[in-house]
Structure 1
Amino acid sequence: MKNQIRVASIREWMDEKGMAAMLLASPNNQFYVSNYKAIIYSRPLFYVLGKSETAFIVPGLEEKHARSLASVDQLFVYYEHPEMAHKGTEPVDLLMSYLGKPEAGAKLGIEFNTIPIKLAKALEAAGWELVDVASEMLQRRTIKDETELHWMRYAGKLVSNAVRASLSAVQPGVSELEVDDRGRKALLLEAAEQYPKANVFLNAITPSGLERS
């Protein structure tokens, strides 16, 4: 429901700015409007917000995941394995086909800090007037609802517990890798017990060895 409210609000803003559609490539912005986050971003994903429908273009590796989670009207899939090549192998081709030929002077919102220059030039060559929406989307994402605030507080709790677990492992002869492992295990175990269906993304950069280099 919150995604539909967000999309409706963005459409009102698009109308004010005279935009026919918006193209999002940033994972954070895509999640904001669709509730979908890819398992891994090793291939291009494009989200299009039009005046009457939304569409997602995803790789075959993400197809099942996207169909089960993405709040979107249309899902288009491109494939890299030969037996499915007849359905399309190029995400940009699918995108350009979906967008179609724009009317003269039609405006397309894109994220100037995310969209590849080659794609931007192809969109301009197709007749689109490009408008930067990156700042607007960032501003919208800074306004958190109660669900987001809950998860932020819970993430902070997980990190605090992980730090305590890591500190408890600190003693002479223990490597930083082992200290970090203690905290990581504590975080993942608690998350699995409290929210077994949640996706937990954990990033850590830990030196190894007894001495710092």
Structure 2
Amino acid sequence: MTRIIADLTISADGYAAGHDQTEERPFGNDGGDGSGGRLHAWMFDTPDENRAEIEQLGAATAFIMGRNMFGPVRGAWTRPWNGWWGDNPPFHAPVFVLTHHQRDPQPMDGGTTFHFVTGGIESALTQARAAAGTGDVLIHGGATTINQYLAAGLIDELRLHVVPFTLGAGTRLFHDVPALQFDQVTARAATGVTHLTYRARP
């Protein structure tokens, strides 16, 4: 059975990105170099220790992401651009990008095709479910997109990677999301990150 999974790295105070995202600083003012190095160091500095969580990120057969996760408004939508993901994105599957801007599907090397969805979160989910077949759909972020799916009660499983620093401002998980209840499935502390998995209660 297809699961709808949200997976996100956040600071200890719940932010997935700082303010002022640009092409050069995809995670904005994150207190580091802005490239996501501080938030996502656990993926690159200690990959062997976090192998299971990294492999989970690529295990879905369809993905959903928000417009800013594909690329900032300035740049990605005013000229042809492949987003932040390079010529061979890591998804190797259909990716459905939520946006208000019409754009033709964008096939990439390695089997990834970005599909730009203007019909909202449910339209994107319907298309992703169909593309996933019997596999899972992974909502890859950012926090604003995941918040919309949480508020609509459409997420089955929430995976969080919590890094031990605070941002104080930016795009925050659970902003404007009503009270929810989860069951904790797993919790694992690693170097510089704690991995948490929650299952949404019906």
Relative to the length of structure 2, the TM-score reads 0.31
More strand by share: 2
More helix by share: 1
Q: Per chain length, whose mean CA-contact separation is higher, i.e. which structure has more relative contact order (CA < 8 Å, sep 6+)?
A: 2
Q: Which has the larger radius of gyration?
A: 1
